[in-house]
Chains A and B, each alone.
Chain A
Amino acid sequence: MIPEALAGKRIALTGATGFLGTALVEKLLRSVPECELVLLVRPGRRGAAERIRREVLRNDAFDRLRESLGADGFAAATTQRLSAVAADVSADGLGCDAEGQELLAGCDIVVHAAAAVAFDNPFDLAVETNLLGPIRLVELLADIGATPHLVSVSTAYVAGNRRGFAPEELLAESHFAVAVDWRAEAASARRSRDAIEDESRTPERLDEFAGEAAAELGAAGTAALSAKREQIRSRWVRSRLVEVGRARSASLGFPDAYGLTKALAEAALTETRGAVPLTIVRPSIIESALAEPFPGWIRGFRMAEPIIISYARGLLQDFPGTPEGTLDVIPVDHVAAAVCAVAADGPAADGQPRVVQVASSEVNPFRFEDLHDWSHAWFCENPVYDERNQPISPPRWSYPSRKRVQNSLERARRALETGEKVLSTLPIRGEKAGVAADFAEKRTQVERALSYVDLYSSYVECQATFGIGELLALHDALPPEDRASFNFDPRRIDWHRYLTEIHLPSVIAQGRLKTAPAARAGADRDTRRRAAVLSPQRHMAAFDLENTLVASNVVASWGWLATKRMPTAERARLVARTFAEVPKLLDLDRADRSDFLRYFYRRFAGAPVEQVAEDSFEMFSDLLLRQSFPAAVRRVRHHRALGHRTVLITGALDFVIAPFAPLFDDIVCASLTRTRSGTAYTGQLATVPPTGESRAEALLDYASREGISLAESVAYADSTSDLPMLEAVGFPVAVNPETKLATLARRRGWLIENFKLAPGGPRKLLPLAEPSVRR
């Protein structure tokens, strides 16, 4: 009897916060009432005990136990039977303190379930966790002189890409195995990290990252660009390390670094375990629970979930694989039960490492074609709905070769990328720029599909059959009571029922997919975001001027003011001169907004103060109001009516925006110094104009001076050069965004407003003042 065999035992467990770990903790607490558990978890910020409480015990896996014991009973049982030890498998000696070591020393059984399970981890991370983690564990056991039964959870896929039968034997004994020195692999992985980190800091690479950052953000200011460049750099390092892992794994016949590092770990453990008795448990692909703690229980997103969800959303139009191939899936409660049985059964009597595989393909294969057909039928019955409340029809897969799927996805990706590039060079805004954002979104989806195909197709193409003789022998030796409460017999799984009644509903619920059309059509995302922006709780609404309130710019207002009192012939010359300068001005503006303003505003040198002030009011009607967005003006007034502080923050000059003063509580803008007599402008800026980063700073200054919380504030702007300001507030709004900002805003879930000019309003071809009537 398993509960009796484990009664009074102290069992240590790594990886308790993981999927299998949580299932094990729950199973042992519930079904083995008299064992004690020592959970080794990374302490994190809150400490090991608190992490256990928050990240393990609060999981819905424990609802069943909590219900049967009552809240108090549950608290008492866990306090009494669980102890937490701060330990990190990627640190030498696991970073255990003396107390932890003592607890560990008193353990009869150690279950090692900690792993970096993602298939696309950087190689060095996979090596540190999956390969060196268990080594560090046995070294620590040796140091403290403990020899508990070590049950190490590995994976059936240590068999690599082999076809045919994969028995429950040590890899060294298998005639497929390639002998590789695990120490050399570990050392090489660490060196790869160093080399790639170094390479990422070479001037050439840094230039490349700078280029990418600029292409994504435009003139967003030093701070934003530096952050973006560093983000791109570390992403690059990561992806290179993933690539290194994939390449090395492929060269040794493994689908990915996970399988390779686990295989190396088995070899290393066998070699370094010393006197520690070892059992290796190799589950195949672990999926949601068949029955315990409740059918469909799942933690986090497992291997198949992203694929299922992408399929349901219609994003994976096709997938490689062999229809008659099997997908070796095993429910998590089977694995947990099998680990309990292994622990209760003890190590092999001969002291040799024991291998137990927990898999289904040998006795009850789950055919890939069945998975697809049943899923297709199920999603036809239970469709997922898109943003427009339309049911998505699931695609039918034709199982082409991997290469073909990859090629077609790659072609789509390249086409979208080109489209995006072309669009980003066009001077488009607002809804049209939204097309670029659509492209970017589609490209991301295609890239994701591509990565799924890269990552997962070897699993669905895998034609290995994992032998489970040991597992069945263990099962068949159990008394009937144990067979009932520790079910790990894959022969009894009804895959159709499991998929359609347990797994798919659970995945759809976990993925929060829309399974019914939204009840209220009006309550879409934009409406919700707008309501948040216009909530009375907000403190302040900051507005940019150009292209946010008015479709005009500093060049236009200068042109108007300059031509206001100019004879016709001179006007023509001025227009010609300004046109000739446009490319230079654009370049300057693209590079740095405040340099541009500094340069451009020199044109106001000598402008008479009084006359400019008077003309500016005429310009307000003749140029700015004509070019204004009524909905934007209404929005400012709406914020004001809600009691929000409204602030105009712009690089435009004070006299230009003076007529807008009654619209705002405050205006932060640029101003020019005056000549000694005070009657004319010098053309020099009095202070740094509030654009780009200095705009964010001006906003920060303003907010701290006025005691306003930026987290509770809204900012409206149109371009990535306003990114620092948008990022500084809790509620950014992109107004008529240019393509880069449109893409960014979409990705970040910001509200996008497309404010339009008054329909049918009079337009000006050139921003010039009307020639004066004869005097």
Chain B
Amino acid sequence: MSPRTASATPRPGFVLEVERSTPPILFHHGEGFRLERLPAGRSRVIYPPSPLEGLPDPSGAIRHALEHPIDSEPLPALLRPGMRLTIAFDDISLPLPPMARPDVRQQVIETVLDMAAAAGVDDVHLIAALALHRRMTEAELRHAVGDRVYDAFAPSRRLYNHDAEDPDGMVLLGTTDHGEEVQISRRAAHSDLVVYVNINLVAMDGGWKSTATGLSGYQGLRHHHNVATMLKSRSFMDQANSELHRSNWRQGAVLAESGPRVFQIETTLNNNSFGTSGSLSMLQKREWEWTARDRATFLAMQGGLSVLSPAARRRAFQSWRAPYALTSVQAGEVSAVHKVTTENVFRQQLVAVEGQTDVLTMGLPYICPYNVNSIMNPILVMCLGLGYFFNLYRGRPLVRPGGAVIMTHPTPWEFHPVHHPSYIDFFEQVLADTTDPAEIEARYELRYATDEWYRHLYRTSYAYHGVHPFYMWYWGAHALSYLGRVIVVGGDRAAVRRMGFAPASSLSDAFEIASDTVGDRPSVTHLHLPPFVMADVS
């Protein structure tokens, strides 16, 4: 059965050639923005497509997807009294920014629970599939699943965070033909059915990665969260060319063979991150289309931000809830579902771009998957820029081999002491020693990954796992080996240097610094995001 999709065709993505008359371009800059003029005649700006129209009846669409799954029996047919049902769902890292209530996970989970109740299923557990991410707080769980579900399940400890370091909580399902161990939550492994509730924000999410990664632990993750895999994933957003994807799918095959039955529910959202009207709507408009009102609002916002303390600014940004709309929901067999999902992601994000460029510029926003309600520390800045944004391509990277990436972000030397304790030590000890991903992996990873204190903080507090900063660094490994220069505009100089990048105080300084690798008149491409856009580079 084909899923229902929205009918209206939105405005597609667009590549703007910058001319003399082009207004300054918006760059995200952490908890703030910059307007920058790009060199005329040799610059282009890649804009995402406008938000797709949302499904007119989301709950109807969800119910329809569950009752008419792809390559699977309908969900109600899989439910029976006395069975053990586990509902796993994506954690706080999705979507970005977090969506306004009701969260799509809540809508899906409520429907699944209704069906389970109707079928007389009593033994239901809900697990936040956070792998080695930090535990979600009560407020965050309530936001994701809704108060009704939370109050029904959390007090009896049937709604909880995945704990990949629980010595009794994990099982080894087997090993792939590549020798990759497949490790998964014991509760999930011993369930009659695992229903996975996904939000697919970018092309790397979902599919077997949901279960094989989300419900796994260090033992399973280390087989693809490593430098070698990253160097072979070009990019990890492009499934056909992603070693990360292949490894997850190999683990998925073991899961399908020896693990519990998985009923995958995937959803896609439109890219309406900042609203089509309202105070932030100009952030997803094209600059030459800004109205006088947009300009005034932007100026007022810049003025307002400048008088706020960094902490207040952070609070203001972190409280933003995006008015996303559901653009598709599909359920059933993992791979088949994911194929449809990916098409829907591309429908919203893909833009055809011709040829590579000397310099890729991007404005890094205040948020990445790992600092929701937290601080975007320097390592996360690197990960967002060189891991996520650099890899938002299909075909070839936007920038030529040996080219330069210029990113704007204040990159403060700041860390959340509760969420990122191992990041602090990684920054102070590991990066002070070397920035080479392979060397870092060889010399430090195991120590951090097996550290008792980090393990303790991951399990009992709200800390990312000890090994997590390493993964963040590996995420950028492909870019680091590919690029000739990385320049951060407006960043804390010491922090930027610690990571081996060049600090610049303005964009023109950055071009000056880049000139030793790309010459005086480089071609420039600006990736205008968020909202998300993915370049299909020919």
Contacts and interface: CB of A to CB of B under 8 A. Distances in A.
A599 to B, nearest CB: 31
Interface in B443-474: 452-453, 456-457, 460-462
A761 B139 contact: no
Nearest to A763: B311
A634 B451 CA distance: 12
Contacts, number: 69
A617 B460 contact: yes
Given A758-B415, A760-B414, A762-B416, A659 B461 contact: yes
Contacts of B166: none
A637 B461 contact: no
A119 interface: no
B460 A630 contact: no
A762 B142 CA distance: 22
Contacts of B311: 760, 762-763
A663 interface: yes
B461 A760 contact: no
Choose among A625, A628, A757, A758 the residue with the greatest number of B CB atoms under 10 Å from its CB: A758
Interface string B411-436: 01111111001001100110000000
A102 B346 CA distance: 113
Interface residues of B, number: 27
A621 interface: yes
Nearest to A661: B456
Interface string B138-169: 11001000010001000000000000000000
Which of the listed residues A617, A662, A775 has the most CB atoms from chain B within 10 Å of its own CB? A662
Contact of B151 (A622, A663, A762, A775): A775
A757 B375 CA distance: 14
B310 interface: yes
A758 B424 contact: yes
A622 B138 CA distance: 13
Contacts of B151: 775
A759 interface: yes
A655 to B, nearest CB: 14
B414 A625 contact: no
B453 A758 contact: no
B421 A759 contact: no
A773 interface: yes
Contact of B425 (A620, A634, A760): A634
A633 B461 contact: no
A621 B418 contact: yes
A767 to B, nearest CB: 15
Contacts of B416: 758, 761-762
Contacts of B425: 630, 634
Contact of B412 (A626, A628, A757, A760): A760
Contacts of B310: 760
Nearest to A758: B417
Contacts of A634: 424-425, 428-429
Interface string A527-545: 0000000000000000000
Secondary structure class of chain B's binding surface, majority of residues: helix
Nearest to A623: B418
B511 to A, nearest CB: 29
A630 B452 contact: no
Interface in A725-760: 757-760
A761 B456 contact: no
A774 interface: yes
A116 to B, nearest CB: 56
Contacts of B375: 760-762
Interface in A429-475: none
Given A763-B311, A774-B147, A662 B418 contact: no
A625 B429 CA distance: 20
Contacts of A761: 375, 414-417
Interface string A678-710: 000000000000000000000000000000000
Contacts of B453: 633, 637, 662-663
A773 B139 contact: yes
A417 to B, nearest CB: 38
Given A625-B461, A760-B412, A630 B142 contact: no
A341 B138 CA distance: 97
A757 B461 contact: no
A621 B461 contact: yes
Contacts of B414: 758-761
Given A625-B461, A662-B452, A662-B456, A630 B412 contact: no
Given A634-B425, A634-B428, A659-B460, A757 B417 contact: yes
B444 to A, nearest CB: 13
A626 B412 CA distance: 18
Interface string A603-619: 00000000000000100
A522 to B, nearest CB: 14
Given A760-B310, A773-B142, A625 B415 contact: no
B421 A626 contact: no
B147 to A, nearest CB: 7
Determine which residue in A626, A631, A760 has the highest number of CB atoms from chain B within 10 A of its CB, and name it.
A760
A22 to B, nearest CB: 53
Contacts of A622: 418
Interface string B355-381: 000000000000000000001000000
A760 to B, nearest CB: 3
A759 B461 contact: no
Contacts of B461: 617, 620-621, 625, 659
Nearest to B462: A621
B47 to A, nearest CB: 32
A625 B417 contact: yes
Contact of A628 (B139, B417, B452): B417
Contacts of B457: 625
Contacts of B456: 659, 662
Looking at B138, B418, B429, B462, which has the most chain A CB atoms within 10 Å of its CB? B418
B420 to A, nearest CB: 8
Contacts of A662: 452-453, 456
Contacts of A628: 417
Given A663-B453, A760-B310, A773 B412 contact: no
Contacts of B413: 759-760
A630 B415 contact: yes
Nearest to B417: A758
Nearest to A637: B453
A625 B418 contact: yes
Contacts of B139: 773
A727 to B, nearest CB: 30
Nearest to B447: A641
Interface in A643-663: 659, 662-663
B459 to A, nearest CB: 10
Given A634-B428, A637-B453, A760-B375, A626 B138 contact: no
Interface string B299-331: 000000000001100000000000000000000
A451 B139 CA distance: 67
A86 to B, nearest CB: 60
A775 B509 CA distance: 54
B460 A620 contact: yes
Nearest to B151: A775
Contact of A630 (B138, B421, B462): B421
25 contacts: A617-B461, A620-B460, A620-B461, A621-B418, A630-B421, A630-B424, A630-B425, A633-B453, A634-B424, A634-B429, A662-B452, A758-B414, A758-B417, A758-B424, A759-B412, A759-B415, A760-B311, A760-B375, A760-B412, A760-B413, A761-B416, A762-B375, A763-B311, A773-B138, A773-B139
Given A662-B456, A773-B139, 11 more contacts: A625-B457, A628-B417, A630-B415, A630-B417, A633-B453, A634-B425, A659-B456, A758-B416, A760-B375, A762-B375, A763-B311
Interface of B: 138-139, 142, 147, 151, 310-311, 375, 412-418, 421, 424-425, 428-429, 452-453, 456-457, 460-462
Interface of A: 617, 620-622, 625-626, 628, 630-631, 633-634, 637, 659, 662-663, 757-763, 773-775
